[in-house]
Amino acid sequence: MRVYFKFATFQTIINYHISHFMFSKEIYLQRRKTLMEKVGNGLILLLGNGEVGRNYKANEYRFRQDSNFLYYTGLENPHVAAILDADSHVTHFFGHDFSMDDVIWTGYETSLKALAAKTGIHNTYPFDHIASTLQQAIAQGRKIHFLPPYRHENSLYLHTWLGFPIAYLTEKSSPTLIQAIVNQRAVKSDEELREMEAAVNTSRAIHIALMQRAKAGMKEAELVGIAEGIARATGNGLAYFPIVTVQGQTLHNHYDQNTLVAGQMMLADVGAESYQGYAADITRTFPVNQQFTTQQKEIYQIVLKANEQIIAHIRPGVTYRAMHLMAARIIAEGLKALGLMQGDTDAAVEEGAHALFMPHGLGHLIGLDVHDMEDLGEDYVGYTSDIVRSKQFGTAYLRFAKILQMGHTLTVEPGIYFIPALIDKWQKERKFTSFINYDKISDYRNFTGIRIEDNIVVTSDGCRVLGHPIPKSIEAVEALRGVI
């Protein structure tokens, strides 16, 4: 019995079926050709992901292919790799042939040759030939371009094949390859946009179901279950760990054991992944009661205004940092009208006082990853030598600040949060007392948080919100809550 067989589980059957969902072979051939042209010379190593054991080796997490490997091959199978020769433009594919055991236990019936042929590659080799292929190239003085690893198994492979200490693999990875991939993947094609719309539409069904079904006495986890069920029924499941919480002031709150109490707000940051691995990232916030309280409505309207105004202003040629700062000004202005902030709005935002209420960035690129290409390094994705990351608390967390281009897909996700520990710290430090009215904030201490997030594509003269509209006005949200 081969080692590979021992790790195979029922899960692999699902992977096999998913591999039917690919774009046409020509798309992957063209993507690889463009990449090889941009990189120019040397060998480009693209490593697929392996299976990862959850509590023992054969009881695995649900498999997710590496997004770069997926983008350039469309293949969802674990334990495969490709080497693209940027000098000769020949591509080599590495993996395992399948035995009768694999067929019996996993449903695999495709040979390695047939698998590679699906993506237009005709040179196949056993997986363990990667080492000799790379070593031969190194001996010839050729450059090996590889990407920063994020899975330990792939770190071990790179360490073994290339000899670099594991701690230096990111530093030794190829900026030329990273930059070429970032530029190529950042601009989405029509077929990618269709996948992303499918992911948003599944997310829309989830958010509508949550707004219709949430009620006092339920556990957050029951809503997570509804979301996961819908996402699995029409795609790859959820694109990231869902945030479904009555404690929305904790930005990435993954705890789901609270019981919903009348008067609270539910923040649901839940996005589905399409069959081909494209993400949606959608947030809605709604009252556990049928209606928002006046205080909740007032804060909600400010966040909604920021979301809608930014969507109205996005267009090619503006930087996303400018959009982030515009959202910060809308939030500061709104909070000023409620007496929570004071003084000159522009100066407050310039100095970073608004970050008490929105300590995160306006949004990020989205695509095959929810934070698209974050594995390649956030500064490569979101910044340039001219547009450098701010050091200021709040704006420093903006993941993407570059000039917008047609075909960029982004999240727009302003929010207002009341984070008691942060409020106490700033108040104790007497931070921004000319811009922040700490006395007034005490009325909002247990308010939690509101975020409203949509996904957009930059068009020739503006932007388009992806998918069918997901209710977000107070009236539309309350109408859905009315059916409980």
- Which range in 96-104, 279-287, 293-301, 318-326 contacts Mn ion by CB under 5 A? 279-287
Give the separation between CA 341 and CA 418, rounded to whole angstroms: 13
Q: Which is nearer to ligand GLY, 85 or 281 (CB)?
A: 281
Return all residues near 271 (Cβ < 8 A) that are at least 6 apart: 199, 200, 203, 238, 239, 240, 279, 280, 281, 282, 370
CB atoms within 10 A of CB 101: 15
Q: Which is nearer to ligand GLY, 39 or 370 (CB)?
A: 370
Nearest Cα to 246, choosing from 272, 226, 217?
A: 217
Q: According to CB under 6 A, which one of 21, 240, 275, 438 is a site residue for ligand GLY?
A: 240
Q: According to CB under 5 A, which one of 76, 281, 333, 454 is a site residue for Mn ion?
A: 281
- The minimum distance between CB 114 and ligand GLY, in angstroms, equals 38
Q: Which is nearer to ligand GLY, 134 or 412 (CB)?
A: 412
- The minimum distance between CB 247 and ligand GLY, in angstroms, equals 15
Give the separation between CA 56 and CA 37, rounded to whole angstroms: 43
* Contact partner, 457, from ligand GLY, Mn ion, none, Cβ < 5-8 Å per class: none
* Contact partner, 240, from Mn ion, ligand GLY, none, Cβ < 5-8 Å per class: ligand GLY
- The minimum distance between CB 481 and ligand GLY, in angstroms, equals 23
Query: By CB under 6 A, is residue 23 in contact with ligand GLY?
Result: no
Number of residues lying near Mn ion (CB under 5 A): 2
Tell whether the torsion through CA atoms of 189, 192, 198 and 199 is positive or negative: negative
- Which range in 103-111, 156-164, 382-390, 406-414 contacts Mn ion by CB under 5 A? 406-414
Cα-based distances in Å from 391 to 156, 351, 371, 399? 34, 11, 20, 13
| Cβ proximity of 73 and 374 under 8 Å | no
Which amino acid, one-letter code, is at 340?
A: L
* Contact partner, 68, from Mn ion, ligand GLY, none, Cβ < 5-8 Å per class: none
- The minimum distance between CB 459 and ligand GLY, in angstroms, equals 22
- The minimum distance between CB 269 and ligand GLY, in angstroms, equals 5
- The minimum distance between CB 453 and Mn ion, in angstroms, equals 6
Give the separation between CA 260 and CA 72, rounded to whole angstroms: 44
Q: According to CB under 6 A, which one of 269, 333, 375, 378 is a site residue for ligand GLY?
A: 269
* Contact partner, 23, from Mn ion, ligand GLY, none, Cβ < 5-8 Å per class: none
Q: Where in 162-201 is the site for ligand GLY (CB under 6 A)? A: none
Give the separation between CA 198 and CA 204, rounded to whole angstroms: 10
Instruction: List phi, psi (to 5°) of 19.
Output: -65, -10
3-class DSSP assignment, residue 220? helix
Query: By CB under 6 A, is residue 378 in contact with ligand GLY?
Result: no
* DSSP string over 286-353: EESSSS--HHHHHHHHHHHHHHHHHHHH--TTSBHHHHHHHHHHHHHHHHHHTTSB-S-HHHHHHHTG
- Which range in 67-75, 82-90, 280-288, 473-481 contacts Mn ion by CB under 5 A? 280-288
Return all residues near 19 (Cβ < 8 A) that are at least 6 apart: 75, 76, 77, 115, 118
- The minimum distance between CB 366 and Mn ion, in angstroms, equals 7
Tokens of 318: 């503006």
Number of residues lying near ligand GLY (CB under 6 A): 4
Tokens of 157: 């492979």
Give the separation between CA 134 and CA 138, rounded to whole angstroms: 6
- The minimum distance between CB 334 and ligand GLY, in angstroms, equals 22
Q: Which is nearer to ligand GLY, 147 or 267 (CB)?
A: 267
Q: Which is nearer to Mn ion, 102 or 281 (CB)?
A: 281
- The minimum distance between CB 269 and Mn ion, in angstroms, equals 7
Give the separation between CA 109 and CA 472, rounded to whole angstroms: 47
- The minimum distance between CB 366 and ligand GLY, in angstroms, equals 8
Query: By CB under 6 A, is residue 281 in contact with ligand GLY?
Result: yes
Give the separation between CA 387 and CA 372, rounded to whole angstroms: 19
* Contact partner, 195, from Mn ion, ligand GLY, none, Cβ < 5-8 Å per class: none
Binding residues for Mn ion, per CB under 5 A?
281, 411
Residues lying near ligand GLY in the complex (CB under 6 A) are found at 240, 269, 281, 370
